[in-house]
Amino acid sequence: MAAAPHASDRGRLGVNAPLVASGIGVELGGSPVLHDVDLEVRLGELLVLVGPNGAGKSTLLGVLSGDQVPQRGTVTLDGRRVASLRAGELARRRAVLPQENRLAFGFRVVDVVRMGRAAWAGRPEEDRDDVVVAGALRRSDVAHLAERVYPTLSGGERARTSLARVLAQETALVLLDEPTAALDVRHVELVMAQARELAVAGHAVVAVLHDLTLAAAHADRVCVLADGRVRAVGAPRAVLTAELLSTVYEHPLEVVDLDGRLLVLPQRHPQEAPC
């Protein structure tokens, strides 16, 4: 079971919207990437960002985490600008799973996961390090890899190790950039179950996903981005419509209700018959 945010975290972060982005504008290399983005991230929910390549999903996640500084707009945690938070405090408030996991040195898996506890060094929470790390290894299905050296792992094993590091960090806000990209079906479901469990336990979770059906199955709210703008935010059934998605992805998509579950399917042109 995911540990709920500490009472002190709930007090600091607020109940409804711990993270608020207002009027966010970002340019990279002179090209606009995000335009006037407004978004609230709430405790107790899984918010999924979707959109085509180049929509600005990862950039927005970077802005929300404080790792990317916008040219315009502000991001606040309970009324405090994220940019004003010191690195240690920010690390105790939010954990980030990046899209790419790069570790050049030969750390063991257990050591990589233990890195998630660095923000709690010298504090009372440090006494729980061993228990938290063991739990994170188990929940990410990498306990059996604990003594393996990180560079020897497969892409999926690395992704799950990085997720375990994020879980070990024990923050009220969790930001995941394409957490299922390198995973097989079983581990996709495991990772999304962990994200869901965090939300149920009271954490605020934001995930970038490409799989629209996966987003529909697990998200409390979905934010659809296109051309650096928010096109819609809301419950999956309200947002993931064939009309909107076909426009955003510039390809005809069909949304099917299968026994209460939404399936998003691309329409395919029938192949020409062979001569």
Element (H, E) at 222: strand 221-226
Q: What is the CATH number of the domain that holds 88?
A: 3.40.50.300
Has residue 271 been placed in a domain?
no
Q: Please check whether residue 19 is in contact with residue 41, taking contact to mean a CB–CB distance below 8 angstroms.
A: yes
Residue 4, classified by CB atoms within 10 Å of its CB into exposed (0-12), middle (13-18) or buried (19+), is middle
Query: 225-235 burial string, b = 16+ CB within 10 Å, else e?
Result: bbebebbbbee
Has residue 2 been placed in a domain?
no
Has residue 274 been placed in a domain?
no
pLDDT of amino acid 15? 45
Per-residue pLDDT tens digits for 193-248: 999 999 999 999 999 999 999 999 999 999 999 999 999 999 999 999 999 999 99
Instruction: Indicate if the pLDDT at residue 252 is higher than 70.
Output: yes
pLDDT of amino acid 10? 41
Report the first-to-last Cα separation within the chain, whole angstroms.
Answer: 59
- The least confident of 27-31, 110-114, 235-239 is 27-31
- CA–CA separation, 73 and 86 (whole Å): 19
Q: pLDDT band for position 100 (50/70/90)?
A: confident
Instruction: Find the mean pLDDT for residues 94-103.
Output: 85
Which residues constitute the domain of residue 79? Answer: 7-266
Looking at the chain, the whole-number percentage of residues with pLDDT higher than 90 is 84
Instruction: Find the mean pLDDT for residues 90-107.
Output: 85
Instruction: Indicate if the pLDDT at residue 272 is higher than 70.
Output: no
Look at residues 243, 241, 235, 233 and name the one whose alpha carbon lies nearest to residue 218.
Answer: 235
What is the tally of structural domains in the chain?
1
Instruction: Indicate if the pLDDT at residue 12 is higher than 60.
Output: no
pLDDT of amino acid 215? 97
DSSP 149: B
Compute φ and ψ for 266, nearest 5 degrees. -75, 140
The mean predicted confidence, pLDDT, of the chain is 91
pLDDT of amino acid 2? 57
Looking at the chain, the whole-number percentage of residues with pLDDT higher than 70 is 91
pLDDT of amino acid 17? 67
pLDDT of amino acid 101? 73
pLDDT of amino acid 231? 98
Higher pLDDT, 14 or 245: 245
DSSP 271: P
> What length is written for the chain?
275
Q: pLDDT band for position 107 (50/70/90)?
A: very high
Instruction: Find the mean pLDDT for residues 94-101.
Output: 89
Per-residue pLDDT tens digits for 113-150: 999 999 999 999 999 999 999 999 999 999 999 999 99
